[in-house]
Chains A and B, each alone.
Chain A
Amino acid sequence: MLKNEPLTESYFYILLCLYEKANHGYGIMQEAERLSEGQVKIGSGTMYGATGNMIKKGWIKEIENLNPEDKRKRLYELTPIGKSVLLEEIIRLKRLVEGAKTVMGEEGI
């Protein structure tokens, strides 16, 4: 079987931003911007495509927003599959960084 493809930054941040709690699209966008120190700002088209694809793959799912103060009805929630995809990706990224450390030393990177 082929190994999982690396996630794009947008996919990674969407999964990461849903790790602790369910969130809506705009919330994910803001959180991703904060976590990436302004480097990743997920556009509307990108967000619609990514969330749609991930719902299809079963990584995330839509749930109803029960907070009456928030008008937005849709929240996205991480599924157990999505969680394991995220964790596997983190292991992959760690391995990359470890490899770099072996070659360049702690200070090199």
Chain B
Amino acid sequence: MKDYVISHKLYGAWEYEKEVEDLNISSSNGLQLVKGGCFHSKFKRDQSVRYIYQLDYNPRIADKTRYFEMFEEQGWVYINSTFNGWHYFKKEFSDTLSAEDMVIYSDRASLYEMQNRWIRLVTILSIFYPFMAVLYLFMGISHQEMSLFLEGIVFTLFSITFLLAFINVKRKRAGKEGIINIPLQIVFPFILILLVASIILIYI
């Protein structure tokens, strides 16, 4: 059996809580995160420990030593950061940990402050993608160009995913039930296939 396992599970920013949940489950199954990433994560097989995880989003940390010190003080072990500003932390699981010991944001104001940093981007993209989708679908049809049309579908898929994510975040904050959400893991393979197809179409 291999010691290391690579996972290609994808998560949107709005799915970060699901990622934490999945990491916690993996850890209790003996797969310990070594390096977290946007496109692939590395796990090590180790049944002897169990960790709980937390993800923080902060692409512009003003004072890195101060930042990491704050986490170390409360028993959080820094794992790594992604290129786009997500930071992975872990803490050894124990029955004595209280619910507050397991989270890095202890009040709503600060949790929203962190989420607002990525919500801005999601908001911009959920306006940008529909615009591009209409543009490409229109060009694809008017120029009778299949590759442009396929790219239009890619933008449409992104539009739907991001719009749903945006609506869900807003609904959650208003205390309402979320509506249907398409996991990025499911959308992404379709997008890849469509992109590859459109590139092939350009060259034949």
Q: Which residues of A contact B (CB under 8 A)?
A: 8-10, 24-26, 29, 40-52, 62, 72, 74
Q: For residue B62, which residue of chain A has the nearest CB?
A: A52
Provide the residues of chain A in CB contact with B73, threshold 8 Å.
Answer: 24-26, 29, 44, 72
**Distance of B114 from chain A, by nearest CB (Å):** 6
The answer, yes or no, to whether B105 is at the interface (CB within 8 Å) is yes
* In contact, B66 and A48 (Cβ under 8 angstroms): yes
Residues A9 and B107 in contact, CB atoms below 8 Å apart = yes
Report which B residues bind A (CB closer than 8 A): 54, 56, 62-63, 66-67, 69-71, 73-74, 76, 89, 98, 100-101, 103-107, 109-111, 113-114
B69 touches A45 (CB 8 A): no
Give the chain A neighbours of B113 by CB distance below 8 A.
Answer: 49
Minimum C-beta distance from A40 to chain B (A)? 8
Report chain A residues within 8 Å CB of B70.
25, 44-45, 47-48, 51
Contact yes or no, A10 B110, CB < 8 A: yes
Please give, as numbers and ranges, the residues of chain A lying within 8 Å of B100 by CB-CB distance. 41, 43
Q: Are A25 and B69 in contact (CB under 8 A)?
A: yes
Q: Is the CB of A42 within 8 A of B109?
A: no
A5 to B36, CA, bound (A): 38
Contact assessment for B63 and A10 in the assembled complex, using a CB-CB cutoff below 8 Å: no
B43 → chain A, closest Cβ, in Å?
24
**Alpha-carbon separation in the docked complex, A51 to B73 (Å):** 15
Find out whether the CB atom of B69 lies under 8 angstroms from the CB atom of A74. Answer: yes
Name 22 interchain pairs, CB-CB below 8 A, sorted by A: A8-B107, A10-B107, A10-B109, A25-B70, A25-B73, A26-B73, A29-B73, A41-B101, A41-B106, A43-B74, A43-B104, A43-B110, A44-B74, A44-B89, A44-B104, A45-B56, A45-B111, A45-B114, A50-B110, A51-B66, A62-B66, A74-B69
**Min CB–CB distance B87 → chain A (angstroms):** 9
Cα–Cα distance between A62 and B62 once the two chains are bound (Å):
14
Chain B residue contacts of A46, Cβ below 8 A: 104-107, 110-111
